[in-house]
Amino acid sequence: MTTTPEVPQLVVIQEMVARLRAEEAAYVPPEDHGLRQGDIRVCRPFPEVEWTNYASRLDDECNPVGDGWVRWTSFDGHTYADHPDMHEEKWVLVVGMADIEHGVVSVLLCGRPDGIAERWLTDYDIMVSAEETGGRWSHPVYCNLRAPVFTHQLGELKGRLDDLSAVRAASQGAVPDRDMARRSVGLPLRSKEDPRRAWKLGLLHVLHRLASGCTQWLLDDEMPSEAPNSPSDAL
C-alpha cells in the first residue's frame, strides 16, 4: 500500500489551522469589572432599529450596488469595493464618563478586526493591538467619530485600553512620531475624492444610528434626570 506524500502547501495550511485552534483554546477574555473608561464594548442602537445587511446587495455580475459602497483601486490597478456597515455587531471605546450618573457615556466608534481596516485609516485613526487591549485581534479606533450613548446600550466587553494618550492625540490628528513608529496610523486625506473620506462618512452614519436616541434626549429642553428605561438585557 502506497501513501501519497503530503503537499507542502497543504502542510502549511494544516499547521496554520492547528495554531489558530490552539490560540483560540488558550484565549482568556478580559474580566468584566463593570463599565469603565477605556472599555471596548459591543454597542446596540437605541431605539433599536433593524439592521440591513447592505453588503449582501449585489447585482447580477456580483458587483456591489446601493448606497454606502466605497470603491478603491489596488496597487495592480484592480478596482474593489468595501462597505463600512458590513457587520451587525458594532464596537465602541468608552472615553468619557462625566454624565455617568444620568446613564450616559461618551464613546468613539471602533472598527472590527475584519482584515480591511488599515487601508481606510486617516491621521485621526489608530490601530490598537491585542496586546494593548487584552482582546483577540487588532482593530481600528476612529478617534474623531465621537458621540454619546446610553449605558444600557453597551454590552459584551471586547477589550480594554488603559492608556488613552494616543487616542487623544489622534483625535486632533497629532499622534507623536514616537507613537507612529510602533502603531498603525493613517495619512492625512489627500482630497475630497480620497475614498477614505467616503469611508469615514459611511462610518459617521453608523455612529449616528447608535447615538441618535441619546443625542435627541440630551438636546431635549425638558431632559429628565434619568435616561429612558433600558431593555431587559441591559448592562
pLDDT digits (tens, 9 = 90+) for 95-134: 999 989 989 999 999 998 865 668 889 999 999 988 889 8
Count: domains in the chain: 1
Selection from 62-66, 89-93, 119-123, 229-233 with the highest mean pLDDT = 89-93
Contact (Cβ atoms closer than 8 angstroms) between residue 66 and residue 58? no
Least confident of 72-81, 184-193, 216-225: 216-225
Cα 176 to the center of its chain, rounded Å: 22
pLDDT the model gives residue 58: 47
Residue 104 lies in a domain: yes
| Mean pLDDT, the chain, integer | 80
**pTM for the whole structure:** 0.77
Residue 19, in any domain of the structure: no
Q: List pLDDT tens digits, range 164-210.
A: 988 998 888 877 665 555 567 888 888 988 988 999 999 999 999 99
* Better-scored residue on pLDDT, 152 or 173: 152
Residue 146 belongs to domain spanning? 32-219
CATH number of 40's domain? 2.30.30.110
Which among 68-72, 78-82, 205-209 has the top mean pLDDT? Answer: 205-209
The pLDDT value recorded for residue 24 is 62
pLDDT higher than threshold 60 for residue 230: no
C-alpha cell at 111: 472598527
Residue 39 lies in a domain: yes
Q: How far apart are CA 89 and CA 155, in angstroms?
A: 10
In a domain, 189, yes or no: yes
Residue 70 lies in a domain: yes
For residue 210, how many C-alpha atoms fall within 13 Å in the half-sphere facing its CB? 34
